[in-house]
Amino acid sequence: MTRYAWKGYIYPGKREEYIRRHDEIWPEMTALLNEAGIHNYSIWNIGEELFGYYECDDLPFALKTQAESPVVARWNESMEGVMRMELDEKGEQILPEQVFLHP
Protein backbone atom coordinates (compact mmCIF):
# COMPACT_ATOMS: atom_id res chain seq x y z
CA MET A 1 0.00 0.00 0.00
CA THR A 2 1.14 3.52 -0.74
CA ARG A 3 0.71 6.27 1.87
CA TYR A 4 -1.11 9.51 1.11
CA ALA A 5 -1.99 12.58 3.13
CA TRP A 6 -4.08 15.73 2.89
CA LYS A 7 -4.39 18.99 4.76
CA GLY A 8 -7.52 20.94 5.63
CA TYR A 9 -8.91 23.40 8.12
CA ILE A 10 -11.81 23.44 10.55
CA TYR A 11 -13.73 26.70 10.58
CA PRO A 12 -13.55 28.58 13.88
CA GLY A 13 -15.95 27.19 16.46
CA LYS A 14 -16.71 24.05 14.42
CA ARG A 15 -14.28 21.53 15.96
CA GLU A 16 -16.89 19.73 18.07
CA GLU A 17 -19.27 19.56 15.09
CA TYR A 18 -16.50 18.18 12.87
CA ILE A 19 -15.71 15.47 15.43
CA ARG A 20 -19.39 14.64 15.98
CA ARG A 21 -19.97 14.13 12.26
CA HIS A 22 -17.03 11.77 12.02
CA ASP A 23 -18.13 9.91 15.16
CA GLU A 24 -21.42 9.36 13.30
CA ILE A 25 -19.94 8.72 9.84
CA TRP A 26 -22.46 7.20 7.47
CA PRO A 27 -22.12 3.45 6.80
CA GLU A 28 -22.45 4.17 3.08
CA MET A 29 -19.44 6.51 3.32
CA THR A 30 -17.23 3.86 4.92
CA ALA A 31 -18.46 1.36 2.31
CA LEU A 32 -17.47 3.80 -0.44
CA LEU A 33 -13.98 4.23 1.07
CA ASN A 34 -13.60 0.44 1.06
CA GLU A 35 -14.83 0.28 -2.55
CA ALA A 36 -12.26 2.95 -3.48
CA GLY A 37 -9.52 0.85 -1.86
CA ILE A 38 -8.80 3.35 0.92
CA HIS A 39 -7.59 1.81 4.19
CA ASN A 40 -5.95 2.87 7.46
CA TYR A 41 -7.60 6.27 7.12
CA SER A 42 -7.11 8.62 10.05
CA ILE A 43 -7.56 12.33 10.58
CA TRP A 44 -5.53 14.38 13.04
CA ASN A 45 -6.28 17.84 14.44
CA ILE A 46 -4.21 20.68 15.91
CA GLY A 47 -6.13 23.91 16.51
CA GLU A 48 -7.96 24.62 13.24
CA GLU A 49 -5.64 22.45 11.14
CA LEU A 50 -6.53 18.95 9.94
CA PHE A 51 -4.14 16.34 8.65
CA GLY A 52 -5.53 13.22 7.00
CA TYR A 53 -3.60 10.03 6.30
CA TYR A 54 -4.65 6.96 4.34
CA GLU A 55 -3.25 4.08 2.36
CA CYS A 56 -4.31 2.72 -1.03
CA ASP A 57 -2.81 0.78 -3.93
CA ASP A 58 -4.36 2.76 -6.79
CA LEU A 59 -4.72 6.49 -6.11
CA PRO A 60 -6.22 7.38 -9.52
CA PHE A 61 -8.91 4.72 -9.00
CA ALA A 62 -9.57 5.91 -5.43
CA LEU A 63 -9.88 9.56 -6.50
CA LYS A 64 -12.11 8.68 -9.47
CA THR A 65 -14.36 6.46 -7.35
CA GLN A 66 -14.82 9.26 -4.83
CA ALA A 67 -15.29 11.97 -7.47
CA GLU A 68 -18.08 9.99 -9.16
CA SER A 69 -19.87 9.04 -5.94
CA PRO A 70 -23.16 10.70 -4.96
CA VAL A 71 -22.39 9.64 -1.36
CA VAL A 72 -19.14 11.62 -1.36
CA ALA A 73 -20.90 14.58 -2.99
CA ARG A 74 -23.53 14.50 -0.24
CA TRP A 75 -20.83 14.17 2.46
CA ASN A 76 -18.86 17.11 1.03
CA GLU A 77 -22.02 19.21 0.92
CA SER A 78 -22.76 18.32 4.55
CA MET A 79 -19.25 19.44 5.57
CA GLU A 80 -19.54 22.89 3.94
CA GLY A 81 -19.34 25.50 6.66
CA VAL A 82 -17.55 23.06 8.97
CA MET A 83 -14.22 22.54 7.20
CA ARG A 84 -12.32 23.23 4.01
CA MET A 85 -9.59 21.33 2.19
CA GLU A 86 -6.28 22.86 1.20
CA LEU A 87 -6.40 23.09 -2.60
CA ASP A 88 -3.97 24.19 -5.27
CA GLU A 89 -4.53 27.02 -7.76
CA LYS A 90 -6.55 24.64 -9.99
CA GLY A 91 -8.88 23.78 -7.10
CA GLU A 92 -7.42 20.29 -6.75
CA GLN A 93 -6.44 18.57 -3.52
CA ILE A 94 -2.78 18.99 -2.62
CA LEU A 95 -1.06 15.70 -1.80
CA PRO A 96 1.91 16.40 0.49
CA GLU A 97 5.23 14.79 -0.35
CA GLN A 98 6.49 12.19 2.11
CA VAL A 99 10.01 13.18 3.13
CA PHE A 100 10.68 10.72 5.97
CA LEU A 101 9.55 7.27 7.06
CA HIS A 102 10.76 5.16 9.97
CA PRO A 103 9.35 1.67 9.39
User: Which residue among the candidates 22, 39, 74, 84 is catalytic per the annotation?
Assistant: 22
Sign of CA dihedral 57, 59, 65, 66: positive
Active site residue 22: yes
* Helix 70-79 with 15-23: angle, nearest 10 deg: 150
Residue 54 identity:
Y
For residue 24, which of 78, 77, 86 has the smallest C-alpha distance?
78
Which residues form the catalytic set?
22
